[in-house]
Amino acid sequence: MIRPSFFCLFVFVGISFAFDKEAFLSKCTSGHDLDSEDFENCLQCVDIELSDKDLEEFKSQSLNISNEECIVFDDGDLNIVSGDFLKQFPGAKIIVFQGGRFKLSTSTENDGNESLQNIRIEHSQILGSEVVGAFDDLSNLTTLTLEKVRFESVNMKDGLKIILENLTSLKAVTICGPLEEFPLGIPSTIEEITICDYQFDRVTRDNLDKFKDLKVLSIYTGNLKTLDENAFDDLEKLEELDLEYNLLEKFQVRHLLNNKNIKRVALDPVEHADLTEIGLWETSRTGYFVKEEEVEDYNDSY
């Protein structure tokens, strides 16, 4: 699969599983290349059901989970999420906010949670008339997922820009939701961008030209109809391109003539051109192209 995915095994306090945390940590925090076997070995999570607890009761519990590596805040109102709040969990490497409502706030101190590498916010509402960079002081945050996030009082374009623009350590970002244009604020040093379930219909060179370190670009399951001919020209390190399940009618080999490191392309159901000119051959999976030397191995495993 080209497309990154994220799995986190939700368990309650007191239930444990045997797994090699150190060997698996880089996979789990990046959310990349996880399969069904990985699911069983993922980091232990503590699932906090906030819908049945008030904030004070939650605070009294926080000390008991301060060293857990993966924490899920499930379906409740957290009031304020800030760097100060996240420092209550110094052992956390992955934190998931799922289905809640909260405000974002800056920290009162400059030092943040140094262990936190991955934040996922899904099906949540960001409250308040101001959205601030609540994660700016997380010096080791490498992966951020924003899935079906709504903003109460600002438009999605501006809200996302404020959250993203100062995350200088970020390497992978996933944004899924009704974006009307390519998101602003993504750091120029990003290595993986995933965008899905969006509304914009065009990608231009201006959208992408600053991402000199980008290796994986996935823009799938949306309304994309038009690609500028030179849209990918500045992506010198691009290795994987996923444009599946869009409204593109054609994809020309000239779109990737300047991408010398390209290894895999997913286009289904686009009517595509022959990509052998850039060293890519179609596999038994329709619209999926890999290097010639990888075709046989891929077909055997597909």
Taken in order 182, 185, 191, 192, is the CA torsion positive or negative? negative
Predicted local distance difference test score (pLDDT) of residue 31 = 54
- Measured between alpha carbons, how far is 181 from 224 in angstroms, rounded to an integer? 10
Please give the model's pTM, rounded to 2 decimal places. 0.84
Which strand (E) or helix (H) includes residue 159?
A: helix 156-164
Q: Which CATH architecture has domain 201-302?
A: Alpha-Beta Horseshoe (3.80)
> pLDDT at residue 78 above 90?
no
Neighbour tally for 300: CB within 10 Å: 8
Q: Which residues, including other chains, have CB under 8 Å from residue 272's CB and lie 6 or more apart?
A: 250, 251, 287
Predicted local distance difference test score (pLDDT) of residue 82 = 85
Instruction: Determine the average pLDDT of the residues in 135-164.
Output: 92
Predicted local distance difference test score (pLDDT) of residue 267 = 94
> pLDDT at residue 193 above 60?
yes
> pLDDT at residue 12 above 80?
no
Q: Name 250's bridge partners.
A: 271
Domain ranges of the chain: 201-302
Tokens of 206: 């201006």
